[in-house]
Amino acid sequence: MKNLVGILNYRLGNLLSIKSAIEYLNYRCKIIDNLNNLEDFSCIIFPGVGAFDQAINYIDSNDIREKILYIFKKKKNIKILGICLGMQIAFDKSEESVVKSKGLGIFSGCVKKFNYELKPPLNGWAKLKLSNNSETKNKYSFLQDKRVYFTHSYYCQTEKRDEIAYIKHNNFMYSALTIKDNFIGLQFHPEKSGPAGIEILEQILSN
């Protein structure tokens, strides 16, 4: 068996489908309620599906924020993978927040609501496109034109230097995959994206 992957249970998200995808890749996987015993894990996953305020409230109510930032700043050998909502909570703030919850601030920028003309929530399949960066194209060429599944009403407005790939929906482009140090954010759901999603998960976990 490969390294141990932890899925943070902040009482939201499709935990079992992510766990099944990770175990399919022959990784040990454990659903966890906190970030204690960090030395046991090679990767921590923040799952998708749910509301920004609920996720942040759980994180702050259970003293998890500082532990997340500790991993990000001090434990570079542990990857953090945020999926959909798990990516969005890593930003400074979100227009979804009713009580103006403060995001984790790992990525600079705001999570914004799609224009009504795009008829949110957006859901379906789209091809990933690499951002226009030569280093990105070399290192992440495996992402190009991968068809992935997405379903969400908000998108991440981020700095282009952190954007690895994007999705184009009705001529509107937005971030699909962002990376900053050991934090990887996926706006799409790899666990629901068939063989392409499994390949992307394998590349992220193994590199």
Rounded to whole angstroms, how far apart are CA atoms 136 and 126?
20
- Which band of pLDDT confidence, cut at 50, 70 and 90, is reported for residue 125? very high
Residue-wise pLDDT for 146-189, tens only, equals 999 998 899 998 888 899 999 988 788 899 999 999 999 999 99
pLDDT computed for residue 27 by the predictor: 95
pLDDT computed for residue 58 by the predictor: 92
pLDDT computed for residue 22 by the predictor: 96
pLDDT computed for residue 24 by the predictor: 96
User: What does the pLDDT average to over 21-47?
Assistant: 92
User: What does the pLDDT average to over 74-82?
Assistant: 94
Query: Mind telling me the catalytic residues?
Result: 84, 189, 191
- Does 1 score more than 60 pLDDT? no
Residue 100 domain boundaries: 2-206
> What's the gap between Cα 109 and its chain centre?
15
Query: The CATH number of the domain where 181 resides is what?
Result: 3.40.50.880
Structure tokens at 109: 């920028």
- Does 135 score more than 80 pLDDT? no
Structure tokens at 119: 């008829």
* Contacts of the segment 168-175: beta carbons below 8 A, 24+ positions apart: 168/126, 168/129, 169/118, 169/122, 169/126, 170/118, 172/114, 172/115, 172/118
- Which band of pLDDT confidence, cut at 50, 70 and 90, is reported for residue 110? very high
pLDDT computed for residue 134 by the predictor: 59
For strands 107-113 and 147-152, give the pairing.
unpaired
Q: What is the total count of domains within the chain?
A: 1
